[in-house]
Structure 1
Amino acid sequence: MSSLLRLATAGSVDDGKSTLVGRLLYDTKSVLADQLDAVQRASVDRGLSTPDLSLLVDGLRSEREQGITIDVAYRYFATPRRSFVLADTPGHVQYTRNTVTGASTAQLAVLLVDARKGVIEQTRRHAAVLALLGVPRLVLAVNKIDLIGYDEAAFEVIAKEFATHAASLGYSEGSVLTIPVSALHGDNVASSSDKTPWYSGPTLLEHLESVPVAPDPHDAAFRLPVQYVIRPRTAEHPDYRGYAGQVAAGTVRAGDEIVVLPQGLRSTVERVDTADGPLAEAGSGSSVTVILADELDIARGDLIAAAEQCPVVTDELTAALCWLSAKSLTVGSKVLVKHGARTVQALVEDLHSRFDEQTLSTVESPDSLELNEIGSVRLRLSEEIPVDDYASSPRTGAFLVIDPKDGDTLAAGMVGDRFSGLGERAA
């Protein structure tokens, strides 16, 4: 059975992300014949002599009309060596929020730059976001290498500049690879190019197939946010009481001692059910129903956790926020915090600092956080919630900040100090 790699793309506008993803799908024979026929017809209508592979992934009508990517699109493809789930994210600054969404579960990110432009402001911003999200490996794809005549010297300048920036974010030399590619012509995407004899590294696809996949970062102490309480009360199951959700971290099996938070109630797992029948154990990502030995008052939004390795229960959060709204965040702002299935009111007590992703420095005590800025804040919650540090358990260390007036998502939050020790998180 082949392994699975979750990856994301990122980059600036017109760097060729959609074309690169389309090339990967095309070269791995992951495109249906009717899809390719439709792309060929659309390309002819545009006066193009070759298929525009970006049309394979820019699915929204507005995306096709503007020639840009707006929404996150998940693509699934496979080779004999590995299966892939790819999150194709937008390049526009205004859609940075979608990059955060797409990269939040990625084990590797492919960051594109235009060979003619090199590392730009949006490249540095995306690299900083990827580091803060804890994405362990990066590939810098220097795209459109054909438009600079496959110039080795220009490629080396870009590679060196990005390597320096990535190292400052905490990435080790072995966790970053730079590849010269032409998504349009397929150079070094799925097959090596004879036009870059000076490049001796792997193609992009070879690297994706062979890069080591670290154990699931959620494979730690057991965590199950309760999504639904199942009580059918039928003649067949008169006393059935189960707690359904997706395992966010760790493994659960019958006999495990657990604690229900924030109440602090304790019990033992009696059985782990699924739609296909009971399981001996279930790991991270599994959707299950847990049956406990005791009848407890448990509701949607509660967290079932390993009794001896339980998270902190607190009404105060120090966290990093990726601010995703045109509305400003200031001290005293009233917001909602959505953590798992639980939503609570919160007050912004302090803006500790703002992270400058261009200079990799912090600005202490800023007046506000603005669109696409990243800052460290302290939030006071209206009630206690159980949380982990994002570095140790991303699923239970992440949350959303929501506008209580209209329900808009304002920020993605990560519990803990994400600005210091970035190098400790790079693989």
Structure 2
Amino acid sequence: MTSTTVDTLRFATAGSVDDGKSTLVGRLLHDSKSVLTDQLEAVEHASRNRGQDTPDLALLTDGLRAEREQGITIDVAYRYFATARRRFILADTPGHVQYTRNMVTGASTAELAIILVDARNGVVEQTRRHAAIAALLRVPHVVLAVNKMDLVGYEEKEFERIVEDFAGHAAELDLPGFTPIPVSALAGDNVVDRSTRMDWYEGPALLRHLESVPVGGDRSGEPARFPVQYVIRHAEIRHYAGQLVSGTLRVGDRVTVHPSGGTSAITGIDVLGEDAREAYAPQSLTLRLADQRDVSRGDMITTGADVPALTRDVRAAVCHLADRPLRVGDRVLVRHTTRTVKAIVKDLAGAAELAANDLGRITLRTAEPLALDDYADSRRTGAFILVDPADGATLTAGMVDLGEPRSPA
């Protein structure tokens, strides 16, 4: 990386009601000098109207007037800010259990999740739920931010008790290693600057950790996956356009087209209007193949022996997003990468139905085979959504669990 290159971290925050999550995000924005003067003035004015002597930094993220008046956050608020080291895209998700689906939305593309805990209350049911979602979505990095340390006298033993409790639950979930940080969002301890009131803590402040955690892992060494988005015909030659979601493609590579199973070879690659000998994930590109294969939108082009599972029987962990329940026998559309196929819900792991915000497991039978990877291996080609065929509404978010290897359909 050159000195002029700044990468981007997408991260999400989650916590129970009144854990101080909005204050933490507000403190992060304020102390990193990412707040415009007019925004700060508006917060100061709103705080005075509430009878508060100091600015309520939570208002920097609680952007809707109705939410402010109720004192709750009910939607995912996206914030963009930057430091000299890195750009950030923050998804601030609501804490109420009835808005679990909002956390799934916010964390689905996150590379890091901050799970907030009130030092007085420790790990509660919603903490465990947020940890389960982080594990389900395979978020690469997790921070346990133990907030309101000022209200427990900045005691190390209180911090260690919560970390130990959370660690036990994380182990049950097979959650990747997490980073615990003691903070006081209200006082600013360990948010942007290291606290002088917790000299027993030897780790980084939250912002420094966000600036240094590895992001954007190199996907070029992974198996090649190229979902076709458009077929462009020019001078009797077909060009296949899309984004290479993982791996590397080179001119001369032998490829397989799924689900047909047809094979060919790459004769040309175009990246940003220029001929290229090779392309790497996550570049957008067009391909030309040696044979005029019947390749359509939704097909997936791969190379090598490490190919996706081709199946019509889909098993997955899911979070139901829609207000109307999902039931066995429902007919749905499955949208996976650029492909959409009809399907029927065969099983809900014993549940009668899934209501909004429910987490569960599902088995689908699709009308046509899908080329799937396990979600644990690829968050791009292992994820799908279920759509209502009647009105196009999004119903459910799914994470593929292939289990035992399947034979092609």
User: Is this a same-fold pair by TM over 0.5?
Assistant: yes
CA distance in 2, matches of 1:27, 1:186: 8
Alpha-carbon shift at residue 280 of structure 1 (Å): 4.3
Cα distance change, pair 181–268 in 1 and its aligned pair in 2 (3 A): same
Change in 2 beyond 3 A, CA 1:417/1:69: farther
* Equivalent residue number for residue 45 of structure 2: 41
1:107 equivalent among 101, 107, 111: 111
| Equivalent of 2:213 in 211, 220, 223 | 211
For 2:376 and 2:174, how far apart are their aligned partners in 1? 14
What amino acid sits opposite 2:375 in the alignment?
Y
Q: Does 1:375 align with 2:379?
A: no
Q: Classify the secondary structure of the residue corresponding to 1:106.
A: coil
Is 1:319–2:323 an aligned residue pair?
Answer: no
Give the one of 265, 282, 285 matched to 2:282.
Answer: 285
Report the CA distance between 1:61 and its aligned residue: 4.3
- Which segments of 5 or more consecutive residues in structure 2 lack a partner in the other structure? 404-409
Alignment pair present for 1:12 and 2:9: no
Give the match for residue 185 of structure 1. Answer: 187
1:124 shift after superposition? 0.5
Q: Deviation at 1:225?
A: 1.7
Amino acid at match of 2:397: A
Question: Which position in structure 2 is the counterpart of 1:261?
Answer: 258
User: Once superposed, what is the RMSD of the aligned Cα atoms?
Assistant: 2.5
| Unaligned ranges ≥5, structure 1 | 353-364, 419-427
Distance 1:228 1:70 in 2: 37
Pairwise CA distance, 1:188: 0.7
Native 8 Å contact 1:218 1:394 kept in 2: no
Aligned counterparts of 1:279 and 1:5: Cα–Cα separation in 2: 29
The two structures have a TM-score, normalised by structure 2, of: 0.88
What is the match of residue 83 of structure 1?
A: 87
CA drift at 1:414 = 1.2
| Aligned twin of 2:126 | 122
Structure 1 residues 34 and 90: CA distance shift in structure 2, 3 A: same
The higher relative CO (CA closer than 8 Å, separation ≥ 6) is in: 1
Corresponding residue for residue 425 of structure 1? none
Residue 246 of structure 1: which of 234, 243, 248 is its match?
Answer: 243
Q: Distance in 2 between matches of 1:201 and 1:257?
A: 49
**CA-to-aligned-CA distance 1:102-144 (integer Å, 9 cap, x gap):** 2122222110112222211111011011111111321111112
Structure 1 residues 279 and 59, CA, compared in 2 at 3 Å: closer, same or farther?
A: farther
Q: Give the letter for the 1:375 counterpart.
A: G
In the alignment, the residues of structure 2 paired with residue 75 and residue 218 of structure 1 have an alpha-carbon distance, to the nearest angstrom, of 29
Write out per-residue CA displacement over residues 150-199 of structure 1, whole angstroms, 9 at most, x where no aligned residue: 33333232222111111221236xx2122221112211101122222332
Give the deviation of 1:213 after TM superposition: 4.2
TM-score normalised over the length of structure 1: 0.85
1:232-255 CA-partner distances (Å, limit 9, x unpaired): x5xxxx345322222222222322
Among 339, 343, 348, the residue aligned to 1:342: 339
Could you tell me how far apart the structure 2 residues matched to 1:285 and 1:28 are?
30
Preserved CA contact (<8 Å) 1:218 1:393: no
| Identity level (%) | 58
Measure the CA separation in 1 of the matches of 2:25 and 2:58. Answer: 7
2:200 is aligned, of 198, 202, 215, to: 198
For structure 1, which segment, 310-319 or 222-231, has the greater mean C-alpha deviation from structure 2 after superposition?
Answer: 222-231
Q: Offset at 1:219?
A: 5.2
C-alpha contact (below 8 Å) 1:337/1:343 kept by paired residues: yes
Query: Residue 280 and residue 24 in structure 1: after superposition, are their counterparts in 2 closer, same or farther (change >3 A)?
Result: farther
Quick one: which amino acid aligns to residue 203 of structure 1?
A
Contact 1:218 1:395 in 2 (8 A): no
CA contact (8 A) 2:27 2:185 kept: yes
Q: 178-187 or 272-281, which moves further after superposition? A: 272-281
- Inter-partner Cα distance in structure 2 for 1:118 and 1:189: 19
